[in-house]
Amino acid sequence: MIATIKHNSRNYKIDLAKPLDISIPLKGGDKNVNAWYLDPPKITPHEEDGFVGKVTEGASTNFNDIWFNPHSHVTHTECLGHISEEFNSINKRLKKFFFLAEVITVAPEQLNGDFIISEKQLKYALGNKKRQAVVIRTLPNLGDKKSKRYSDSNPPYLMENAAKYLVKKGVEHLLVDLPSVDKERDGGELLSHKAFWNMAGKPRTKATITEFIYVPNPVEDGTYFLNLQVAPFENDASPCRPVLFKIEDN
Q: Decide if pLDDT at 64 tops 80.
A: yes
Where does 89-237 have alpha helices with state H?
A: 90-93, 119-126, 160-168, 191-196
CATH of the domain at 6: 3.50.30.50
Which residues span the domain enclosing 106? 2-25+74-248
Sequential DSSP letters for 157-180: EE-HHHHHHHHHTT--EEEESSS-
Residue 200 and residue 236 share a domain: yes
Do both 35 and 144 map to the same domain? Answer: no
Instruction: State mean pLDDT over 8-29.
Output: 95
Do 175 and 212 sit in the same domain of this protein? Answer: yes
Q: How far is Cα 97 from Cα 120, in angstroms, rounded to an integer? A: 29
Among 10, 216, 227, smallest CA distance to 101 is for 227
**Together in a domain, 215 and 145:** yes
Mean pLDDT of the chain: 97
Tell me whether strands 114-117 and 10-15 are parallel, antiparallel or unpaired: unpaired
**Residues of the chain above pLDDT 90, percent:** 95
Query: In the chain, how many domains are there?
Result: 2
Kindly state the average pLDDT of the residues 29-52: 97
**Do 51 and 149 fall within a single domain?**
no
What pLDDT does residue 55 have? 98
Give φ, ψ of 81 to 5 degrees: -60, -15
H-state helical runs in the chain:
70-73, 90-93, 119-126, 160-168, 191-196
- The pLDDT, as a whole number, for residue 123 is 98
Average pLDDT in the 188-207 region? 98
Q: Which secondary-structure segment (H or E) carries 99? A: strand 98-106
pLDDT at 1: 85
Handedness of CA 205, 118, 145, 99 (dihedral sign): positive
pLDDT band at 228 (very low <50, low <70, confident <90, very high): very high
Residues 170 and 121 in one domain: yes
What pLDDT is attached to residue 250? 58
